[in-house]
Structure 1
């Protein structure tokens, strides 16, 4: 059975409050039953891992044919290398705090400039970039252990501290409960399936 296509959800960066600043939380160890991991900012050196996560994400949703797997990894690796350096992509990884240093999850944000737009609920205009959350992925053995939630809290905290007032993502069926817990809601976004 094919996985359901992801649907759009949106959150305001300031919707959840966390104690302490992002700087105080960054790198703080998080324990699970098996090991300890740290959340840290992704660097261009992580591009290969981020690319494999991207391919894994699409594979898990049933949207990556085998013949495109290697091509996607190479294209994504090249993108992440450049976009992280250019600051068009800001990412975080969950890295085991042991000698392996294995990266077990990641999440990122593509910043895109939008026209000023009304925020009726707040009675004002929203200006500035919008954060498009991408590449939220946890290695299968680490799922349901809080890794994705920790990554998302770090990402949303960074958005709040950097004035990113609008944050959107496309949720998979598996990820939707986490995003709803974090305050994301469904929107009216539609997708055009043809060639424009």
Structure 2
């Protein structure tokens, strides 16, 4: 059985490492991850948010420890909980977003990402979240579809370049 646990502030450096691996896998190059001070900022934000009491947590993070290397993570799933105005399908106005699902390359195809994501979805369900969105890579799409995700609408995005 895969043991998934909530992340703690001391996991922040490993979560940054996994996030960098995710970006490398998505872009196919390391160069894209070297832009700006994102690593230090990400680690600081993770430490701050993971230190909050459970009832204040708006960024749930679940991890699987690397069974071969103590202190390292094998996989993670991160989400955000966002209060919005209520809708007929979300009377509390709570929306979730899933992102940063990553498995260390040495531990892929073992069910770690699925286990982390299932616990994350259970966390959202326990809070009555009406809708959960994510952006899937081609490699992760089948996993997310098997967990009940499908097309909802066409999103438009605006992204600034720095």
TM-score, with length taken from structure 2: 0.84
Q: Considering fraction of residues, name the structure with more helix.
A: 2
Structure 2 residue 134 is the aligned partner of structure 1 residue 169 = yes
**Structure 2 counterpart of 1:78, from 44, 51, 58:** 44
The more displaced of 135-144 and 94-103 is 94-103
Alpha-carbon distance in structure 1 between the residues aligned to 2:99 and 2:33: 21
Alpha-carbon distance in structure 2 between the residues aligned to 1:187 and 1:134: 17
**Structure 1 counterpart of 2:102, from 127, 137, 143:** 137
> How many equivalent pairs are there?
154
Alpha-carbon shift at residue 106 of structure 1 (Å): 0.4
**Structure 1 counterpart of 2:32, from 50, 65, 71:** 65
For the 8 Å contact 1:113–1:128, the answer to whether it is kept is yes
Alpha-carbon shift at residue 88 of structure 1 (Å): 2.3
Aligned-residue CA RMSD in angstroms? 2.1
The runs of at least 4 consecutive aligned structure 1 residues that moved more than 6 Å come to none
Following superposition of structure 1 onto structure 2, how do residues 75-114 of structure 1 map, counting pairs within 5 Å? 75-86=41-52, 87-97=57-67, 100-114=70-84
For the 8 Å contact 2:92–2:128, the answer to whether it is kept is no
Alpha-carbon shift at residue 193 of structure 1 (Å): 3.6
Alpha-carbon distance in structure 2 between the residues aligned to 1:194 and 1:98: 39
Structure 2, unaligned runs of 5 or more:
none
Query: Which residue of 1 is the match for residue 119 of structure 2?
Result: 154
Structure 1, unaligned runs of 5 or more:
1-28, 31-37, 120-124
Q: Residue by residue, what CA displacement relative to the aligned partner does 1:19-64 show, whole Å, maximum 9, x if unpaired?
A: xxxxxxxxxx42xxxxxxx211001111111111112111110086
For the 8 Å contact 1:113–1:129, the answer to whether it is kept is yes
For the 8 Å contact 1:92–1:155, the answer to whether it is kept is yes
TM-score, with length taken from structure 1: 0.70
For the 8 Å contact 1:133–1:167, the answer to whether it is kept is yes
Alpha-carbon shift at residue 138 of structure 1 (Å): 0.2
Q: Considering fraction of residues, name the structure with more strand.
A: 1
Higher Rg: 1
Alpha-carbon distance in structure 1 between the residues aligned to 2:60 and 2:83: 15
